Amino acid sequence: MSNATPPNQSSHTASSDLPRSLTLLQGTALNMIDMVGIGPFVVLPLVIKTMGGPLFLWAWVLGAVVSLIDAFVWAELGAAFPQAGGSYNFLKISYGEQRWGKLLSFLYVWQTLIQAPLVVASGAIGFAQYASYLMPLDEWQRKAVSGGVVLIIIALLYRKIDSIGKIGLVMWGAVLLTLGWIIIGGLSNARIPLSETLQSMGSVSGGLLAAGLGQASVKTIYCYLGYYNVCHLGEKFNDPDAISRLACLFRL
């Protein structure tokens, strides 16, 4: 651990001239729009099918609890090492830059090169699927819509970080309005009263509940992912210690 400290200090000093222009509100917005993407809307019917009826709510509760525990860990890491790079630096510092940290940080970047495009692709495909409800789209049209969404995202992200923060606030407002619209619409047009749904959650045996809870919770935890992304932008915040902690928790 001791031989990793000097490289860490030098790298932090070398990159300390990055503009610290993101605020707590912008950090929370960027975190939240990353979590509430297409994932919950695609995964929701799968969770309901796995659990059966009102029991699917338990999967979302368990996913939130597990994500909250993990968010505490990420918040402390982000506050302790407020650097650009997040997990890359966490692994390098923890295991030693001249020892295992070099290998583990490389493996993290390597798997990110594979995993990140798949995440973007899944979101674009989900967008095209829901767009087909508004207008009929054949297979090639859905592919074109998916590709167009990716190009638009690249164009929006290819700009200064302070502009990203402002764009994030606009999209955050759109996310909150959409969620409010869905919640109000669901409660006002519910086929089963909310009170009956809550009673059904508590009337099931433990063994039956546990049978599908693990499988369903894997999907719900996936939907909560992204609360840690603020830790990858430590050197972009005007108060990285507080923002890294609070943005992770506010988002959940």
33-47 pLDDT, tens digit per residue, is 877 766 777 787 888
CA–CA separation, 196 vs 91, rounded Å? Answer: 48
Question: Band of the pLDDT at 8, cuts 50, 70, 90?
Answer: very low
pLDDT digits 0-9 by tens, 140-177: 998 999 999 999 988 888 888 778 888 888 888 888 89
pLDDT for 202 equals 58
Q: How far apart are CA 188 and CA 193, in angstroms?
A: 10
Q: How much of the chain, in percent, has pLDDT values that exceed 70?
A: 77
Q: Where are the domains of the chain?
A: 19-96+160-251
pLDDT at 33 (0 to 100): 80
Note the pLDDT of residue 21. 72
Burial class (CB within 10 angstroms; exposed 0-12, middle 13-18, buried 19+) of 120:
middle
Q: How many CB atoms lie within 10 A of CB 218?
A: 14
The Cα–Cα gap between 52 and 43 comes to 14
Q: Quick one: pLDDT at residue 244?
A: 60
For residue 225, pLDDT beyond 90: no
Give 23's DSSP letter.
-
Q: Give the separation between CA 101 and CA 86, rounded to whole angstroms.
A: 13
Whether pTM > 0.85 for this model: the answer is no
Helix (H) or strand (E) holding 214: helix 206-224
Least confident segment among 13-17, 73-77, 180-184: 13-17
Both structure tokens of 208: 């039956």
Tokens 């402390």 found at: 76
